C-alpha cells in the first residue's frame, strides 16, 4: 500500500510520530507540496493524505492508482468530492478532534479583552507597577463575564461546548441555531439573527462556511451590535467581512475582536485586521494543541485502517 502525505508539517512539525502510518504501508511524507508538484509526488499513490493541498478533478483523473483521500482536518472543501465519487475514490475527514482546544482558544481571546493580562504584563515590565502610587492600579476597563450575554452562531460540537463553558462562567447564552428550544439544554435560548447581534455582549462564530453564512458579519450586522461587545471568530475567515470589522474597531463601534482565522491564510500584508485596534490575532492555531494533533493522527490512521478492512468511518 503506497501512501503519500502531501503537507504534513502543520500536523507534525516534529513532535509526533508517523510510525503508525508507516506500519500500514510504504509511506512518503512531504512537509509541503506546491500544486505543480502533486502529480509527480503522488503518481503511484493509492492513498493520499492532505490538509490544505487541493485535490481537483484534474488531479484525480491523472492519478490512476488513487483509491483513498484522507483529509487531515474537519473541513473537506479542498477535495472535488463529485470527481472522487465518480472515480470510486473514498474521501474521509477528521471530525470533532479539536473541540476542547478550540473552546479554550475562544475563551483565551475573550479573557485577553476582559482582563488585559498581556497589556498589564508589558506595562509592568516597563515599570508601571513599580512606580504606582497605590498597591494596585488599572488604566483599562476590566470586565466580569458573569451576567453578560454570550451569543453563539451554530451549536455543533464546538458551539455547544462553548455554551457549556459560558454557562459555567455565569453568562446568559443565546444562539442562532437550527435546533428548536425543546432540543436545547437548559440555559440556552434560540434567537433570530438580528436579536443575536443586538443582544450579545460576546458573539462567537461556530457555523459552517456556506453561501448563506459568507460575510455573516458585515457592516449591517456590525451596526446592530453594542459598542461594548466583543466578536470572536475561530470558525472560518470568510464568515467575516474583514474590512467592515476593521472599520468598526477603528471607529469605536465595537469594543474588540478575537480572530484565529482569516479569509486568506497566510494573510496578505495589507489585511486590515493586522493593524486594527483592539483586535487580538492568532495564526489559525486553535486546533493545534499537542493533544488535538495527537488525536488527529490517531483518527487519520484509524480512518485508513477502516478503509482497508472494509469498515469505512468518517466518510464524506
Per-residue pLDDT at 300: 98
Whether 240 contacts 215, CB under 8 Å: yes
pLDDT grade for 299, boundaries at 50, 70 and 90: very high
Average of per-residue pLDDT across 185-203: 97
Catalytic: 183?
no
* Alpha-carbon dihedral angle through residues 279, 285, 291, 295, given to the nearest 10 degrees: 130
Q: Is 35 exposed, middle or buried (0-12, 13-18, 19+ CB in 10 A)?
A: exposed
pLDDT tens for each residue of 16-67: 999 999 999 999 999 999 999 999 999 999 999 999 999 999 999 999 999 9
Per-residue pLDDT at 78: 95
Backbone angles phi, psi at 278, to 5 degrees: 55, 35
Whether 315 contacts 91, CB under 8 Å: yes
Q: How far apart are CA 260 and CA 283, in angstroms?
A: 6
Q: Which of 265, 268, 291, 298 is catalytic?
A: 265
Residue of 308, 281, 314 whose CA lies nearest to 97 = 314
Q: How far apart are CA 32 and CA 42, in angstroms?
A: 13
Query: How many CB atoms are located within 10 Å of the residue 79 CB?
Result: 24
Q: Is 260 left (phi over 0), alpha (psi -120 to 50) or beta?
A: alpha
Distances (CA, A) of 114 to 90, 142, 256, 281: 46, 6, 10, 15
Q: How far apart are CA 138 and CA 143, in angstroms?
A: 12
Q: Which of 113, 236, 293, 295 is catalytic?
A: 236
pLDDT grade for 240, boundaries at 50, 70 and 90: very high
Asked if the bond preceding 54 is cis, omega within 30° of 0, the reply is: no
Whether 224 contacts 199, CB under 8 Å: no
Calculate the average pLDDT of the chain: 97
Per-residue pLDDT at 220: 98
Strands (E), the chain: 2-5, 26-29, 47-50, 68-71, 90-92, 149-153, 172-176, 188-190, 202-205, 230-233, 256-259, 279-281
pLDDT grade for 160, boundaries at 50, 70 and 90: very high
| Joined grid coordinates for residue 185 | 439544554
Share of the chain above pLDDT 90, in %: 98
Angle (CA) 209-253-233 rounded to 5° is 25
Predicted TM-score of the model (pTM): 0.94
- The owner of cell 477528521 is 94
pLDDT tens for each residue of 108-131: 999 999 999 999 999 999 999 999
Per-residue pLDDT at 134: 97
Per-residue pLDDT at 288: 97
Catalytic: 109?
no
Catalytic: 265?
yes
Whether 204 contacts 151, CB under 8 Å: yes
Amino acid at each position: 500500500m503506497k501512501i503519500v502525505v502531501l503537507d504534513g508539517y502543520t500536523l507534525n512539525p516534529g513532535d509526533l510520530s508517523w510510525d503508525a502510518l508507516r506500519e500500514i504501508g510504504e509511506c512518503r511524507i512531504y512537509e509541503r507540496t506546491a500544486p505543480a508538484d502533486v502529480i509527480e509526488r503522488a503518481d503511484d499513490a493509492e492513498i493520499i493524505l492532505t490538509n490544505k493541498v487541493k485535490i481537483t478533478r484534474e488531479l484525480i483523473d491523472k492519478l490512476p492508482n488513487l483509491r483513498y483521500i484522507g483529509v487531515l482536518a474537519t473541513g473537506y472543501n479542498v477535495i472535488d468530492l463529485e470527481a472522487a465519487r465518480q472515480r470510486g475514490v473514498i474521501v474521509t475527514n477528521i471530525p470533532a478532534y479539536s473541540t476542547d482546544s478550540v473552546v479554550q482558544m475562544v475563551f483565551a481571546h475573550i479573557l485577553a479583552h476582559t482582563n488585559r493580562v498581556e497589556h498589564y504584563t508589558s506595562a509592568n515590565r516597563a515599570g508601571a507597577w513599580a512606580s504606582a502610587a497605590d498597591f494596585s492600579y488599572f488604566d483599562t476597563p476590566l470586565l466580569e463575564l458573569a451576567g453578560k450575554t454570550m451569543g453563539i452562531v451554530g451549536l455543533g460540537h464546538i458551539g455547544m461546548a462553548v455554551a457549556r463553558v459560558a454557562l459555567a462562567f455565569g453568562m446568559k447564552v443565546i444562539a442562532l441555531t437550527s435546533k428548536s428550544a425543546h432540543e436545547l439544554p437548559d440555559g440556552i435560548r434560540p434567537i433570530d439573527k438580528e436579536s443575536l447581534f443586538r443582544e450579545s455582549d460576546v458573539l462567537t462564530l461556530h457555523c459552517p462556511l456556506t453561501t448563506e453564512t459568507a460575510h455573516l458579519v458585515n457592516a449591517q450586522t456590525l451596526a446592530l451590535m453594542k459598542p461594548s461587545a466583543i466578536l470572536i471568530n475561530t470558525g472560518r475567515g470568510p464568515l467575516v467581512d474583514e474590512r467592515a470589522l476593521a472599520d468598526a474597531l477603528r471607529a469605536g463601534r465595537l469594543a474588540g475582536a478575537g480572530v484565529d482565522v482569516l479569509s486568506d491564510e497566510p494573510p496578505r500584508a495589507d489585511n486590515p485586521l493586522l493593524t486594527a485596534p483592539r483586535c487580538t490575532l492568532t495564526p489559525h492555531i486553535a486546533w493545534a494543541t499537542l493533544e488535538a494533533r495527537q488525536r488527529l493522527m490517531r483518527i487519520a490512521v484509524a480512518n485508513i485502517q477502516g478503509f482497508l478492512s472494509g469498515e469505512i468511518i468518517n466518510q464524506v
